[in-house]
């Protein structure tokens, strides 16, 4: 697959720099494409059993009506409003309505529990709450008395009518807005004119893997600077975001990475955002929307790769062809790696290969890669990966099939985009050089310290976290231990707080061991433990859906009544099994072989000496995972205390 690079890259970089000189607030960023690309599609979304399109002019009209409706409710500049909703076009409309009204959008994952929602609403003193559907309205109302600053709830979808007092539908807010605009046509324009770069644009609460939520409040200037940084970084690699792009959103918009790239970057250049119907529809939506750009977490990439393998593996011939083609893809990547350890993905694979591997690649492309490209819509130029480590076993196959996968690193506090892979210098499983506009250094222990464009200067109403997270000269402590190569490309070794200190004094980075275990597609979750212990152990949760397929093929019986299923990333997934499976010898053998393979690449003190297979996965409903599926080690260790204790007996 030939990747389409961007002509006149230098001119586009100059334009981005000029844009950054003049655009300093989110409304300014929004009205640029409205003015220059008003008739181009801004949003594609599913409604009434069909795909619908909203142009930038139409988007502006909707957002202005919502903004005016909020102003009619008494919303003032600087007020905090919440959006808690599954992905839908109305999410984006509400967000921009809040921004045009001078409010500050606070985002909440729809899966977040009552305690965290209460903390966020009360900490930010939220006055109006956009709820995605009636079910979420009912949940919020169930503890409404614990939210003293909340004046009203606005339901985005599924509610026929509000009560006219403190419950409204989005249509009712827009109707109020139209009425106010008829009376005061420039009311929204006057409000946006008062917004400054120093005003708060959005507050996003961090994942809280250590147990405490922290409010990262990004100002309008920090948002626009961060978007400039992200766009410029990608354009420096000649595969950037342009007006002609179509972005398919498949991750929660409450996730800072999705909102940065899917909402803000796309809007800044006047490109089109397509709202996907959910993880279960990813491949179908890709085929219908034909996106050019996406963002995914590694787990979603893994599911797509496994799904494609199952499709090809429907016949023995197909399975053989797939395995051979993926082997060719990985060898082609190795063959293309230059002296500096990187690949230029702006160059077609076939044009950069020679000899036998080139001939093999041509055959593999025709037999497999072209079909994969078609299954993913046929137009995908780039998809970025972030939110977790991107393993070589996942990065290489996609690169080898011709997809530019930009491996990204960033945090909520940085509006993502600290280091995202550039098309002309991709290093497998690593990130990139530090993005433009960021000043950086490393602490003595290797922790990355940064400050500059798009990075918060303090947490919102949290002096304790500010003291711990910022140096005296203003650098933000990322909490990540990083390693740089000789070309300035970096990757994360592990979270600083995750480093295990054994009773021998040896330090172990659990992310390394967990990544080695997760290379096996049959492993779903792994938690490395050993702090203060004599040796390293692990809790390892298999992919039970795959294990059941193996059990069925082997004729091994198990009690299906003991199986429990839940939606995980939008897919119905087995999360709990009975002892016939978690104590099964074939399962233990698979895990043992995986552990042995991992140990072969670890120092003796890092090796996993014992492991345990829990009866269930780590789950968000038990507060064991963040909304972005990061493990809360403290909670997991408490909930699985007996399993862990058995590892050290």
pLDDT at 495: 84
Tell me which residue of 134, 89, 110 sits closest to 276, measured CA to CA: 89
Q: What is the DSSP string of 417-479?
A: -SEE--TTSB-TT---SPPTTEEEEE-TT-EEEEEETT--SS-TT-HHHHHHHB-TTS-EEEE
As a whole number, mean pLDDT of residues 488-503 equals: 89
CATH assignment, 26-37+52-195: 3.40.50.980
Least confident of 190-204, 297-311, 447-461: 297-311
Backbone phi, psi, residue 234, to 5°: -70, -40
pLDDT at 228: 98
Tell me which residue of 261, 186, 251 sits closest to 231, measured CA to CA: 261
Over the Cα atoms of the chain, what is R_g?
Answer: 25
Tell me which residue of 414, 432, 415, 410 sits closest to 423, measured CA to CA: 432
Phi-psi region of 604 (alpha: psi -120 to 50; beta: other; left: phi over 0): alpha
As a whole number, mean pLDDT of residues 170-184 equals: 98
Domain over 1-24+220-497 is classified CATH 3.40.50.12780: yes
State the number of CA atoms in the 13 A half-sphere of 92 facing the CB: 28
As a whole number, mean pLDDT of residues 191-212 equals: 88
How far is the C-alpha of 322 from the C-alpha of 325, rounded, in Å? 5
Q: Tell me, what DSSP letter sits at residue 5?
A: P
pLDDT at 7: 60
Residues 368, 312: contact at Cβ < 8 Å?
yes
Confidence of residue 44 (pLDDT cuts 50, 70, 90): very high
pLDDT at 210: 58
Instruction: Give me the sign of the Cα torsion angle 13, 15, 269, 376.
Output: negative
Q: What is the pTM of this model?
A: 0.90
Q: What percent of the chain has pLDDT over 70?
A: 98
Q: What is the DSSP string of 333-401?
A: HHHH--TTS-B-TTS-HHHH--HHHHHHHHHHIIIIIHHHHHHTTS---EEEE-SS---HHHHHHHHHT
Confidence of residue 2 (pLDDT cuts 50, 70, 90): very low
Question: Treating both helix axes as pointing N-terminal to C-terminal, what angle do 170-183 and 89-100 enclose, rounded to 10 degrees?
Answer: 40
205: Cα separation from own chain's centroid: 14
pLDDT at 306: 81
Query: How many helices (H) and strands (E) would you count in the chain?
Result: 25, 26
Q: Is the pLDDT of residue 498 over 50?
A: yes
Q: Tell me, what DSSP letter sits at residue 6?
A: P
Q: Tell me, what DSSP letter sits at residue 504?
A: T
Q: What percent of the chain has pLDDT over 90?
A: 83
pLDDT at 570: 64
Angle at 626 between CA 622 and CA 629, to 5 degrees: 105
pLDDT per position as a tens digit, 70-114: 999 999 999 999 999 999 999 999 999 999 999 999 999 998 889
Residues 449, 434: contact at Cβ < 8 Å?
no
pLDDT at 496: 86
How far is the C-alpha of 527 from the C-alpha of 364, rounded, in Å? 37
Q: Tell me, what DSSP letter sits at residue 263?
A: I
Backbone phi, psi, residue 336, to 5°: -90, -10
Q: What is the DSSP string of 174-242?
A: HHHHHHHHHH-TTHHHHHHHT--TTSEEEEEE---TTS---EEEEEHHHHHHHHHHHHHHHHHTT----
Q: Is the pLDDT of residue 148 over 90?
A: yes
How far is the C-alpha of 43 from the C-alpha of 275, rounded, in Å? 7
pLDDT at 208: 58
How far is the C-alpha of 325 from the C-alpha of 360, rounded, in Å? 9
pLDDT at 209: 57
Angle at 489 between CA 486 and CA 492, to 5 degrees: 115
Tell me which residue of 126, 166, 131 sits closest to 147, measured CA to CA: 126
Residue 97: C-alpha distances to residues 69, 160, 170 (Å): 9, 21, 11
pLDDT per position as a tens digit, 524-582: 999 999 999 999 999 999 999 999 999 999 999 999 999 999 877 667 889 999 999 99
Parts of the chain belonging to CATH 3.30.300.30: 499-646
pLDDT per position as a tens digit, 592-614: 999 999 999 999 999 999 999 99
Least confident of 57-71, 94-108, 168-182, 510-524: 510-524
How far is the C-alpha of 472 from the C-alpha of 29, rounded, in Å? 33
pLDDT at 240: 92
Q: Is the pLDDT of residue 640 over 50?
A: yes
Among the CATH numbers 3.60.15.10, 3.30.300.30, 1.10.3720.10, 2.60.40.10, which is that of 499-646?
A: 3.30.300.30
pLDDT at 337: 97
Query: 134-172 as b/e, with b when 16 or more CB fall inside 10 Å?
Result: eebbebbeeeeeebeebebbbbbbebeebeeeebbbbbb
584: Cα separation from own chain's centroid: 35
Parts of the chain belonging to CATH 3.40.50.12780: 1-24+220-497
Helix (H/G/I), strand (E/B), else coil: 42: strand
CA dihedral 516, 278, 552, 585 (to 10 degrees): 30
Q: Is the pLDDT of residue 253 over 50?
A: yes
Q: Tell me, what DSSP letter sits at residue 533?
A: S
pLDDT at 388: 81
Count Cβ atoms below 10 Å from residue 48 Cβ, excluding itself.
6
């Amino acid at each position: 697959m030939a990747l389409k690079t961007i002509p006149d890259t230098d001119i586009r970089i100059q334009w981005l720099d000029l844009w950054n000189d003049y655009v300093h607030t989110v409304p300014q960023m929004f009205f640029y494409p409205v003015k220059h690309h008003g008739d181009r599609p801004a949003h594609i979304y599913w409604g009434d059993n069909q795909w619908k399109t909203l142009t930038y002019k139409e988007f502006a009209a909707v957002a202005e009506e919502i903004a005016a409706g909020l102003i009619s409710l008494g919303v003032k500049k600087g007020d905090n409003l919440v959006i808690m909703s599954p992905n839908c076009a109305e999410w984006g409309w509400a967000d921009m309505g809040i921004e045009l009204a001078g409010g500050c959008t606070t985002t909440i994952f729809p899966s977040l529990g009552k305690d965290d929602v209460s903390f966020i609403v009360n900490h930010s003193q939220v006055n109006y709450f956009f709820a995605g559907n009636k079910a979420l309205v009912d949940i919020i109302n169930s503890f409404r008395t614990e939210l003293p600053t909340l004046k009203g709830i606005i339901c985005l979808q599924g509610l026929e009518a509000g009560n006219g007092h403190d419950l409204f539908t989005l249509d009712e807010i827009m109707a109020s807005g139209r009425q106010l605009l008829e009376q005061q046509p420039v009311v929204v324009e006057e409000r946006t004119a008062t917004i400054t770069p120093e005003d708060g644009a959005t507050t996003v609460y961090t994942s809280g893997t250590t147990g405490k939520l922290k409010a990262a409040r990004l100002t309008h200037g920090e948002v626009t600077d961060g978007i400039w940084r992200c766009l410029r970084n990608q354009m420096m690699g000649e595969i950037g975001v342009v007006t002609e792009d179509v972005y398919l959103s498949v991750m929660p918009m409450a996730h800072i990475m999705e909102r940065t790239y899917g909402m803000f970057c796309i809007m800044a250049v006047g490109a089109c955002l397509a709202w996907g119907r959910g993880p279960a529809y990813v491949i179908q939506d890709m085929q219908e929307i034909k996106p050019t750009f996406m963002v995914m977490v590694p787990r979603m990439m893994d599911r797509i790769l496994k799904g494609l393998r199952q499709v090809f593996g429907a016949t023995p011939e197909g399975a053989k062809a797939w395995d051979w083609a993926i082997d060719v893809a990985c060898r082609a990547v190795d063959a293309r790696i230059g002296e500096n350890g990187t690949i230029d993905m702006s160059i077609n694979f076939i044009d950069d290969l020679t000899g036998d591997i080139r001939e093999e690649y041509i055959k593999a492309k025709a037999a497999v890669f072209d079909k994969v490209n078609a299954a993913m819509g046929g137009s995908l130029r780039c998809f970025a990966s972030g939110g977790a480590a991107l393993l070589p076993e996942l990065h290489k196959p996609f690169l080898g099939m011709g997809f530019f996968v930009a491996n990204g690193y960033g945090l909520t506090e940085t509006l993502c985009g600290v280091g995202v892979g550039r098309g002309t210098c991709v290093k497998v499983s690593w990130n990139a050089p530090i993005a433009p506009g960021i000043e950086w250094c490393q602490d003595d222990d290797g922790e990355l310290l940064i400050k500059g464009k798009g990075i918060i200067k303090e947490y919102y109403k949290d002096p304790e976290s500010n003291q711990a997270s910022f140096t005296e000269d203003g650098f933000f402590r990322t909490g990540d231990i990083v390693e740089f190569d000789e070309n300035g490309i970096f990757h994360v070794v592990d979270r600083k707080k995750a480093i295990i200190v054994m009773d021998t004094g040896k330090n172990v980075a659990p992310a390394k061991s967990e990544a080695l275990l997760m290379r096996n597609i049959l492993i779903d979750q792994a938690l490395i433990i050993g702090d203060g212990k004599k040796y390293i152990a692990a809790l390892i949760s298999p992919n039970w859906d795959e294990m059941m397929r193996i059990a069925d093929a082997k004729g091994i019986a198990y009690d299906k009544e003991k199986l429990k299923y839940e939606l995980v990333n939008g897919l119905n997934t087995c999360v709990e099994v009975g002892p016939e499976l978690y104590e099964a010898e074939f399962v233990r053998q698979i895990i043992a072989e995986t552990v042995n393979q991992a140990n072969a690449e670890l120092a003796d003190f890092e090796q996993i000496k014992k492991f345990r297979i829990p009866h269930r996965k780590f789950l968000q409903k038990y507060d064991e995972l963040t909304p972005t599926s990061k493990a809360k080690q403290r909670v997991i260790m408490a909930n699985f205390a007996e399993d862990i204790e058995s590892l050290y007996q």
